[in-house]
Amino acid sequence: MSLKVDRGRTRARSQAVQLLFQAEARDVPLDEVLEGDYLLSKGPLEEYAGVLARGTYECLDVIDRALAQVLENWSLPRLPGTDRNLLRIAVYEMRFADERIEDAVVIDEAVEIAKAYGTDESSRFVNGVLGRVARSDESLFAEPAAYTADANALEVPVAEEAPVESETVEAPAEVVAAEGLEA
């Protein structure tokens, strides 16, 4: 691991990537990872790592939809887990975190972490994807029109039924006579 990722906020970002990776690999909620035994390359867990991991996890659906829009010739599930979770955390920090940090700083930090943990191509890939996120407008993160975050489900619009006008149909005289009905 590079010494650059063993400092302050960079270490916290690295730890957040590790936590999200473990939750995804074990297919459990992040809180379950945080409550149990988790592994960190360097510890103890930085407070900022928990803030980043929890915030990213809470915004995961919106972040993943945004990343899916800016990925070119890739799908999110095809990405290496480290790259995928690093991108998620960086996007959270760029667009959702309470503390605003300049996009360039977040991108630089993500590139350094990608160099330490990713593949040979990870740093360039992470830089390119996050550059597209930085240049995008807020519509990239807009909720789909019928999506409600509270219900976490799609609202299906129900068409109002047109009122049915009652129609009187007269039965033929022979049917009325045969049935003994009044005409």
pLDDT of residue 106: 95
Portion of the chain with pLDDT greater than 70, in percent: 74
At residue 108 the predicted structure's pLDDT band, cuts being 50, 70 and 90, is very high
Least confidently predicted of 13-17, 118-122, 143-147? 143-147
pLDDT score of 147: 46
In the chain, what are the domains?
3-142 (1.10.940.10)
In tens, the pLDDT along 44-96 reads 888 999 999 999 999 999 999 999 999 988 899 999 999 999 999 999 999 99
Q: What is the 3-state secondary structure (H, E, C) of the chain?
A: CCHHHCCHHHHHHHHHHHHHHHHHHHCCCHHHHHHCCCCCCCCCCCHHHHHHHHHHHHCHHHHHHHHHHHCCCCCHHHCCHHHHHHHHHHHHHHHCCCCCCCHHHHHHHHHHHHHHHCCCCHHHHHHHHHHHHHHCCHHHHCCCCCEECCCCEECCCCCCCCCCCCCCCCCCHHHHHHHCCCC
pLDDT of the residue at 58 = 95
What's the whole-number average pLDDT of the chain? 80
Q: pTM for the full model?
A: 0.73
Distance CA 13, CA 41 (A): 12
